Chain A
Amino acid sequence: MKKRMAYTALVVGVLSVGAAWAAEPIDTRTRLLAANCAYCHGPDGKSRGAIPSLAGLEKGYFIQQMKDFKSGARPATVMHQHAGGYTDEEVEKLAAWFAAVK
């Protein structure tokens, strides 16, 4: 019985992982793009200093800031040089990615 309980616990874990994968495969491209933000903005977008965190930013806000950096509407020290290197689609996916970071 004890053994069976252990298997049950294991299987629940397995199923939830399996279900997550089946429902929504991980977007590995966005995961890599987002990871490359970390060396300035901190692991998972959680900054340890004066550079702003990205984790948990509202999606619409993130997209608008990136657009404004790109157009020059929001003056920047560094970010206008980065924002110009991403497509609108990539910005949208990155916005969703960081909005989901708890």
Chain B
Amino acid sequence: MTFNRREFLKISSAAAGVAGLSPLLAQAKGKAAKAKVVIVGGGFGGATCARYLRLWDPSIEVTLIEMNKEFVSCPYSNTVLAGINKLKDLTFGYGGLKKAGVRLVRDEVTGFDTEKRRVKCKSGKTFAYDRLVLSGGIEMRFDQIEGYDAAAQKTVMHAWKAGPQTATLRKQLEAMPDGGTFVISIPPGPYRCPPGPYERISMVANYLKREKPKSKIVALDSNPDIVSKKGLFLAAWKKHYEGMIDYHPNSKPSRIDAKTKTILIDVNEVKGDVINVIPPMRAATLTDWAGVRTDANSWCPVDLRTLESKAIPNVHIIGDSISAPTPKSGSMANNYGKVCAAALVELLNGRSPESVPVITNTCFSATSENTAMHVADVWRMGDDGKWVKAKSGGVSKEESELEWQYMAAWAKNIWADTLGL
């Protein structure tokens, strides 16, 4: 069977109409039919969204703007503080996304024109979009704690964005004398990774127990109680680290002194040899520049079916920045990246997005060098556009060595799924 050129064009335009435009067909039609999606931020949300957009509709031109050369995983980074893993074990390049046909741009976004649909970058370049996806994560509110200024930030780590902060905190722990005190300040919710601070306490305790057994941990929690997996963490602390952890609820810091490594709670001064102050959080700064950080607590209200901003059309927000009842986790960001990608594929092809998406969260926390536990939940979209949480969700019955293996597998699989490894 052969076709002449005219017949071919007839068939190709018919197929294009049915199948969604592949770049090849778009070229054959001689039209610039490519829809443009610009994604800002290559974390769990942005990277996943980019990869799945290309997978589900290769005709879409996907540009991912990321300021860092490499992806460093926040999940698992507490094991680096324990000395169990190295940062390089959780650091990956973006080559897999490039292979998937994502246009990678290493640059820093400096502003948006959401009327003309343009993203401006530090390099002077601008990027036009049909749809914009913001996956910037969180902004640390250092301004909420007196004394946590630029100078203090050089020596007091939050280590709540994995990378150089994690490495520095690990070095500080290594330099701490046996018999020293590690003080951690936990921010008020909602913050990134609800069980994260308690996992960090467990992992630092694990290191200290092995290497500096006379040391202590003081946990100053801004919240009225342990926010996540309370029973499991308390059981793990009793089993592995009895007598090492001094936990204080309702302990919001008002001031810190970086020089004397002191945290002020009301009138009480708490001094440490290493202090780790995790400040309150809100949606990433760039969401404010785009005009979408509009709720009372500085998160981004979105239509949860499409992740489109309720304030500005054609701007979608995914991951930790959104205002939602779901936890701010890597698993959720990965899920939201896919829900957003699926919705964009439909919208950019003139169809209706999925009206009843189902999303899941599975978060493991390490409790010792070979035990872990988890929380798992499923949410289904209700008629009112709000998530309905399935009754079947919950936490582990108890920590186990098997769950450490599952946690390791989860990490490998989510990194592969997010980055196309």
Say whether A and B bind each other: yes
Q: In this complex, what residue of A is CB-closest to B403?
A: A77
Q: How far is the CB of A84 from chain B (nearest CB, A)?
A: 2
Q: Contact size class for A? A: 35 or more
Report which of B11, B334, B380 forms a contact with A85, defined as CB distance below 8 A: B380
Interface of B is mostly: helix
Report which of A7, A36, A40, A49 forms a contact with B338, defined as CB distance below 8 A: A36
CA A68 to CA B154, docked complex, whole Å: 53
Q: How far is the CB of B239 from chain A (nearest CB, A)?
A: 19
* A38 cross-chain contacts in B, Cβ below 8 A: 413, 417
CA A10 to CA B362, docked complex, whole Å: 44
A50 touches B406 (CB 8 A): yes
CA A7 to CA B7, docked complex, whole Å: 10
CA A41 to CA B378, docked complex, whole Å: 16
CA A42 to CA B408, docked complex, whole Å: 12
**CB contact under 8 A between A81 and B393, given known A36-B359, A42-B416, A42-B417:** yes
CA A81 to CA B391, docked complex, whole Å: 8
B362 touches A39 (CB 8 A): yes
Q: In this complex, what residue of A is CB-closest to B7?
A: A11
CA A40 to CA B42, docked complex, whole Å: 20
A32 touches B342 (CB 8 A): yes
* B359 cross-chain contacts in A, Cβ below 8 A: 36
Q: In this complex, what residue of A is CB-closest to B410?
A: A40
Q: How far is the CB of A24 from chain B (nearest CB, A)?
A: 12
Report which of B19, B358, B396 forms a contact with A17, defined as CB distance below 8 A: B19
Which residues from chain B sit less than 8 Å from chain A, CB to CB?
A: 1-5, 8, 11-12, 14-15, 18-19, 22, 24-25, 28, 52, 56, 331, 334-335, 338-339, 342, 345-346, 354, 356-360, 362, 374, 376-380, 390-394, 396, 400, 402-403, 405-406, 408-410, 412-414, 416-418, 420
